[in-house]
Structure 1
């Protein structure tokens, strides 16, 4: 396959821009606000980078174009492919499987066939874009077959893969009928990155169990073919982060500080403001959080209007049945708690099922006395890091599930097992009553970690390790 002209190519399910079709049929775009874009944009602009991804709209075809120094290469997906590859295999099979089977995954051959076809299309687009000897960084569970396909098409390039969600124990992963194909797909990369050391270990155990390849420490030896020598694949943890300095700066602005005070006033100036911020997803433990809060009200340990919970649950995958059921259950639970414990003009739970801009989120973090992160399984959970980055005042307390990647780094958070409702209740009360000096000490320690290990350092660490790898075809020259 002929080589492209871009030294650094990112392959992700979504493009770094949001594309809009205007009434006259023309296309406009604006840059996406995500952390991944923030981290990689400077590298791509400096080195002449291309980004391969889906526009987010069915059937939208568009030629590659340049946006803020990034060459954008759209991959077109039909409505049926979105249903089978994205909503189906990615989010109906892999997502629940990789999150400890919190809900049962579904295994459908037509979903798998669509996943294979779409991954091949992404790989082909990357192969056309990357320059000889260039670097391709593939992202996340939707594209686990891309590394091996790309390796066949362009053995001269360096290939990295980063899995943003957990990788399950082999006993769970083995349920997947196409388990070997997924492992082989990931082994097309030179470096496979994960959020936690346990995820990297799970992947290496899967390689040992499902293949006859040699595994020593973090490395897997891929045997050479013909003139190509053996190749080493490294699996390692690279915990992702946020643009800490930017979020810290945002939370210090007078407008955000004023808005935080206004939020508390609008809520009736409660003595205790608890906050939950999540996508509406069954992995986030929202039901467990509501149960613990409801029982604290029932026990009389907390009372309305002195205490209130603000729950932001941004919409997520609303066409998937499990998410529709979760929304119904959460809304019924919120209604019951408010019916039982709310007072006239003062709700026990303020529930918002929509997204907010970064300025409003920073104000909410600054207003909250206690941040509740109760995920049942989470690759990282960047909300926990955003809360810490926002608290330059050293106020607030973070209650954090031990089943998040963030728990490995934020050891001074008050950690919980969200399945233990009694333990969660006790920890929430500890956060509320914690001595101010202890609270400041804990927050100072967490802020030191978050501010030093930001998203740019994450990208630099991963790409630094990837740069040390040598593609097999280059070795054979």
Structure 2
């Protein structure tokens, strides 16, 4: 951190920082009090866990809303992190957050599982609040600082920062999915949002498919060239900027969850949980925010039909559903709660026995220690999201199972399914397939459970949250602003290749020799690529090969190389 040198700067912001994180919510929640007696507590959640170590190591500042409407707080220090609150009014909370963020963007970005609403006054509030966040971040960022903007509520901030502070290195990470263009194109402000994101140097997504959807939207709306994960974006000064758009799957503090699960207190609590449920043979567990994207209704429907058809019994298996409250001022979420609670009542009325509930439904959140006990008590973890950017609950379950036991049943529509391939993968829309997978999980032999869980744990431990943040920041600070010239490492690699007696150069066509386009038949190798192939082909000790998944006739048509020896 550095003392503020601008004599006209706001006196509240008397310090600037080399590392600034900007998110809708601060990493702390307001507890109570005023002035010097104001009390705060650390917020639960994956993002806070992910970034706390980075912020402390860099003495960074965190810009965000304090969670209390119509209330302003001065910047303060909390547990080694500088906190810079951004105020929101009650009207802005209703229009920017509950409205545009959660009733327009959230359903749109989750494949329109629920219909999005489009209101111009919500958009105006979104722009206004994004500008306030950007202005606050610009005031506390030191010259050349790294600013990392988080999530869909603040998609306009990167461009606003770029315009006011072109010296900054700006990253953006999208924690939720990014939809295919056919869905995204419904947004009336589709160009403004994409333009806002393109103010960043690096734009991170949970899945490679999300990054691909974003790149296609850029090509369709702006016509900018994309080469692999690099987008060519014209700068305000006429120079071409290179923006990296790729996936950086987020994770958890796996070691902390395992350490917690190994404590005697948590293990004892896990045994108490099973006894309180009637000591069934199998405990199934679902842990979600109460959200229509999580597939809670689908898993309850499947479980109820298994009980109805007597493929399972309440003496054999019970389902524990933790559904933490979420956005209860939004009508869609109030209706969802009513539907879920009605389903729970019907299933218990139809199938429960004394001492053996069919479903234990818990509509509140729990501290991490209680969650670790629930994970240890559960034989089968049900993650049946209809669409999810990642789903960290799946990773928390795996990290907690130090005993190499338990089965993870995982929706293929979660980002976690790209990494956790040893889970039992399901399509939650296929109720019959979901039922079969639940029975498979219940009856899985111990040796198979252990084999799968060991593989899952290796993946989660190797790719923990520290690796996620380090990989993103390394890309942002090392690649975000691509330096000119040839690096020493690349120069050395080229020198070694030049000394090789015979050389085979294998070149991918789409995205390497030819820019990615929306219509594959329109792809053409660039003049520079063709010239390079021709020069390489002139050397007797060099062979050139084109690598492609295209049919040979298609490749011949679009490549038209100047007769390289392939």
Same fold at TM > 0.5: yes
The equivalent of 1:433 in structure 2 is 443
Give me the TM-score of the superposition, normalised by structure 2: 0.82
Distance 1:381 1:472, change over 3 A: closer
Alignment partner of 1:463 is 2:473: yes
Offset of 1:472 from its aligned partner?
9.5
Name the SS for the 1:159 alignment partner. strand
Mapping of residues 53-202 of structure 1, within 5 Å: 53-202=64-213
Q: Deviations over 1:433-474 (max 9, x none)?
A: 111111100000000000111101100000000011465999
Offset of 1:336 from its aligned partner?
0.5
Distance 1:19 1:8 in 2: 23
Distance 1:291 1:39 in 2: 35
* Contact 2:283–2:319 under 8 Å retained in 1: yes
Alignment partner of 1:360 is 2:370: yes
Residue 236 of structure 1: which of 220, 227, 246 is its match?
246
Residue 35 of structure 1: which of 21, 46, 49 is its match?
46
Q: Deviations over 1:227-285 (max 9, x none)?
A: x6211001000000000000010001111111111110111101111111100000000
Residue 328 of structure 1: which of 331, 338, 354 is its match?
338
- Deviates most, 55-64 or 340-349: 340-349
Name the SS for the 1:5 alignment partner. strand
The equivalent of 1:303 in structure 2 is 313
The equivalent of 2:494 in structure 1 is none
Q: Deviations over 1:15-44 (max 9, x none)?
A: 011112328994211222323222222222
The equivalent of 2:357 in structure 1 is 347
Distance 2:418 2:363 in 1: 29
Distance 2:52 2:281 in 1: 42
Offset of 1:224 from its aligned partner?
3.2
Offset of 1:131 from its aligned partner?
0.5
Mapping of residues 368-383 of structure 1, within 5 Å: 368-383=378-393
* Contact 1:271–1:306 under 8 Å retained in 2: yes
Q: Deviations over 1:34-68 (max 9, x none)?
A: 23222222222222211000001101101111112
The equivalent of 2:214 in structure 1 is 203
Distance 1:295 1:252, change over 3 A: same
- Deviates most, 376-385 or 30-39: 30-39
* Contact 1:370–1:432 under 8 Å retained in 2: yes
Distance 1:431 1:104 in 2: 34
The equivalent of 2:266 in structure 1 is 256
* Contact 2:22–2:147 under 8 Å retained in 1: yes
* Contact 1:156–1:471 under 8 Å retained in 2: no
- Deviates most, 182-191 or 301-310: 301-310
* Contact 1:379–1:404 under 8 Å retained in 2: yes
* Contact 2:206–2:415 under 8 Å retained in 1: yes
The equivalent of 1:11 in structure 2 is 22
Offset of 1:413 from its aligned partner?
0.1
Alignment partner of 1:442 is 2:444: no
Distance 1:445 1:471 in 2: 37
Distance 2:153 2:72 in 1: 20
What RMSD over aligned residues (CA atoms) do the two structures have, in Å? Answer: 1.8
The equivalent of 2:284 in structure 1 is 274
Larger radius of gyration: 2
Between the two proteins, the alignment pairs up a number of residues equal to: 474
More relative contact order, 1 or 2 (CA 8 Å, 6+ apart): 1
Distance 2:276 2:482 in 1: 62
Structure 2 gap segments, 5+ residues each: 10-14, 486-566
Distance 2:398 2:145 in 1: 37
* Contact 1:85–1:112 under 8 Å retained in 2: yes
Q: Deviations over 1:342-393 (max 9, x none)?
A: 1123210000000111111111110111110000000000000000001011
Structure 1 gap segments, 5+ residues each: none
* Contact 1:8–1:47 under 8 Å retained in 2: yes
Name the SS for the 2:212 alignment partner. helix
Name the SS for the 1:7 alignment partner. strand
* Contact 1:40–1:459 under 8 Å retained in 2: yes
The equivalent of 2:419 in structure 1 is 409
Alignment partner of 1:216 is 2:230: no
Alignment partner of 1:265 is 2:275: yes
Distance 2:185 2:34 in 1: 48
Q: Deviations over 1:159-197 (max 9, x none)?
A: 000000000000000000000000000000000000000
Q: Deviations over 1:296-321 (max 9, x none)?
A: 00000111222111000000000000
- Deviates most, 257-266 or 18-27: 18-27
